[in-house]
Amino acid sequence: MASYARISLTTDYGLADGFVAACHGVIARIAPAVRVIDLTHLVPPADVRRGAAVLAQTVPYLPTGVHVAVVDPGVGTTRRGVGLAAPGGLLVGPDNGLLLDAAEALGGITAAVELTAAGWLAPEVSRTFHGRDVFAPVAARLARGARLAEAGPAVDPATLVRLPAPVVRPDADGFTAEVLTVDHFGNVQLAAGPPCWRPCRARSG
């Protein structure tokens, strides 16, 4: 398995606490030569759809590497932690739909595992901080060249949790589309593909 020089980190942890630094620290202890790229830590808390959209929009422009994303309202429940392989890199995070659009942006899922291998995780895994205790150490080991298959049992990609399809429907005088994201500059991204951009007229409400 190839090693990677970069790990990207996307979370809803914010910047006021030490959560992001703890993840950086775990990665640095295991893979000190790997550089971490902070994609964003300002995803609105528990907003999985926003995190998924930002991740998918950005990973195609990053170096090939391991991409960790943690927007995880189901932490501490039975939801799985997963690792996904794609032609353009690896993704690590909760099985809640957060990673799938990014995996498609990187060429589609070629393999998936559930992250259960004890030697890959922290000696004691917190119920509420899997970013530090599960996803960061797994990503660091993958970046050093460990094989994804060693992180846990294979998962059928068809069983991965998917977000509900966003609303997009044509109307007589245009179309109705769900807002996916509103960026820092106030630009609105709708869940409508390019065919709607020119012939259709967006309508709020």
Q: What's the distance, Cα to Cα, between the start and end of the chain in Å?
A: 49
Give the integer Cα–Cα distance in Å for 175 and 170: 4
Domain positions in the chain: 6-159, 168-197
- Measured N-to-C along each axis, helices 19-30 and 136-143 cross at an angle, to the nearest 10 degrees, of 30
Cβ neighbors of 6 (< 8 A, separation 6 or more) are 34, 35, 36, 37, 62, 63, 64, 65, 66, 143
Candidate CATH numbers 3.20.20.100, 3.40.50.10790, 3.40.50.1820, 3.60.15.10; the one for domain 6-159? 3.40.50.10790
CA distances from 36 to 29, 74, 140, 195 (A): 13, 25, 10, 37
The kind and range of the H/E element at 93 are strand 89-94
For 163, list phi and psi in degrees, rounded to 5. -70, 150
pLDDT in tens, the chain (205 residues): 589 999 999 999 999 999 999 999 999 999 999 999 999 999 999 999 999 999 999 999 999 999 999 999 999 999 999 999 999 999 999 999 999 999 999 999 999 999 999 899 999 999 999 999 999 999 999 999 999 999 999 999 999 999 987 767 777 777 777 777 777 777 777 666 654 434 344 444 4
Closest CA to 69 of 88, 96, 104: 96
